[in-house]
């Protein structure tokens, strides 16, 4: 069984580098403001926190408030022998009319943004908080619905764990889903509050009639299989730049991942490097004549990283400047 999101489950979660950046503080404040306002206006809805325990346990500060075992919660069952029970996501229901509920909400928001620190993302440790669900249904009903969608069979007949409960995975998955597929994923959830691919507060919602299943197409599966590579490359780029990705970074990463497949790259590290070059050099770097030449001269058993490793500093700087990109004669060619 394949888990469709980059992760390094064996790596210990290091103590995060504390940052007091205005952007992060603004994000935390905005998310808290959005959540409090949303549920204040809709007191009839339950607030469920999505938790993924497969990366690391919750911090003591959260457990000391009130342990998960003492709060209404439900585990998302994943009926596959290769999926460890301790890695199953679960939903914790918060009573926002109590101090305990508000403390849990505030700490979960802080933790969600903490897990987006570039150092943490680059380690591939995943996101412990997958978001906050608004629903009229109890936690066990939502968990039962999600249990029907985690295990999927891809276009090659392989069983895969679709980790949509990870907010970085969801940030790439949601835009490519059709409206009825989005509703199928939401099920009894009215709105899914989360942090998007650029670490900004967002709300996933849909009003269309749901399909009976996700019914992912072959083209969608090919895109999904690239998502782990994309998030890995974005994580490395975050570490190198010390910032969250911008929307144009995510767009460049998604587009270049598809082109890496078109060029016939098969090695995982090669693909991550190719995506990384679209982020660090130029979104269309592979249109540059020197890169085109390197790609054309590659043999099937050659590594992309070795081929572009022949480029000099001046050539890479020329690619970064992008003066060549407007030349109409430059066309993308694939092997």
pLDDT band, residue 332 (cuts 50/70/90): very low
Quick one: how far is CA 199 from the chain centroid? Answer: 10
Category of 203 on φ-ψ map: left (φ > 0), alpha (ψ -120 to 50) or beta: beta
Residue 309 has pLDDT above 60, yes or no: yes
Model confidence at 96, in pLDDT bands (50, 70, 90)? very high
pLDDT band at 23 (very low <50, low <70, confident <90, very high): confident
Distance CA 157, CA 137 (A): 33
29 confidence band (pLDDT: 50, 70, 90): very high
CA 229, 230, 234, 235 dihedral sign is negative
* Beta carbons within 10 angstroms of residue 33's beta carbon: 11
Q: Is the pLDDT of residue 330 over 80?
A: no
Mean pLDDT calculated for residue range 292-309: 94
Do the beta carbons of residue 39 and residue 47 sit within 8 Å?
yes
Q: Which residue, 217, 187, 220, is CA-closest to 205? A: 187
Whether the per-residue pLDDT at 4 is higher than 60: the answer is no
User: Is the predicted pLDDT of residue 11 greater than 60, yes or no?
Assistant: no
Q: What's the whole-number average pLDDT of the chain?
A: 88
Per-residue pLDDT at 7:
39
Contacts of 33 (CB under 8 A, 6+ apart): none
Residues 63-93: pLDDT tens digits? 667 788 789 999 999 888 878 888 899 999 9
- Tens-digit pLDDT profile for residues 221-230: 999 999 999 9
Query: What stretches of the chain adopt beta strand conformation (E)?
Result: 2-3, 46-51, 73-75, 90-94, 129-135, 151-153, 159-161, 189-195, 201-204
Return the pLDDT at 82.
79
């Amino acid at each position: 069984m394949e888990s469709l999101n980059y992760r390094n489950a064996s790596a210990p979660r290091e103590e995060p580098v504390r940052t007091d950046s205005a952007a992060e503080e603004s994000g935390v404040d905005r998310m808290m403001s959005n959540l409090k306002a949303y549920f204040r206006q809709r007191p009839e809805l339950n607030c469920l926190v999505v938790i993924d325990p497969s990366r690391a346990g919750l911090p003591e500060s959260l457990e000391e408030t009130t342990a998960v075992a003492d709060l209404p919660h439900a585990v998302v069952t994943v009926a596959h022998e290769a999926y460890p029970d301790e890695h199953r996501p679960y939903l914790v229901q918060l009573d926002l009319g109590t101090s305990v509920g508000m403390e849990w909400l505030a700490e979960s928001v802080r933790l969600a943004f903490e897990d987006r620190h570039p150092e943490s993302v680059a380690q591939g440790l995943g996101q412990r908080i997958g978001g906050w669900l608004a629903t009229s249904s109890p936690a066990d009903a939502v968990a039962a619905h999600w249990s029907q969608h985690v295990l999927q069979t891809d276009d090659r007949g392989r069983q895969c764990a679709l980790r949509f409960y990870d907010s970085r995975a969801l940030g790439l998955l949601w835009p490519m889903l059709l409206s009825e597929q989005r509703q199928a994923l939401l099920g009894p959830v009215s709105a899914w509050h989360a942090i998007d691919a650029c670490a900004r507060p967002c709300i996933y919602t849909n009003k269309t009639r749901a399909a009976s299943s996700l019914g992912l197409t072959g083209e969608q599966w090919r895109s999904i299989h690239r998502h782990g590579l994309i998030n890995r490359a974005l994580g490395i780029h975050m570490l190198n730049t010390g910032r969250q990705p911008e929307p144009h970074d995510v767009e460049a990463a998604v587009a270049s991942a598809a082109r890496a497949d078109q060029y016939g790259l098969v090695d995982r590290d090669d693909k991550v490097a190719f995506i990384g070059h679209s982020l660090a050099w130029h979104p269309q770097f592979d249109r540059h004549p020197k890169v085109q030449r390197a790609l054309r001269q590659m043999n099937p058993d050659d590594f992309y990283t070795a081929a572009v490793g022949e480029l000099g500093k001046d050539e890479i700087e020329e690619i970064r400047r992008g003066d060549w990109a407007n030349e109409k004669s430059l066309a993308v060619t694939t092997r």
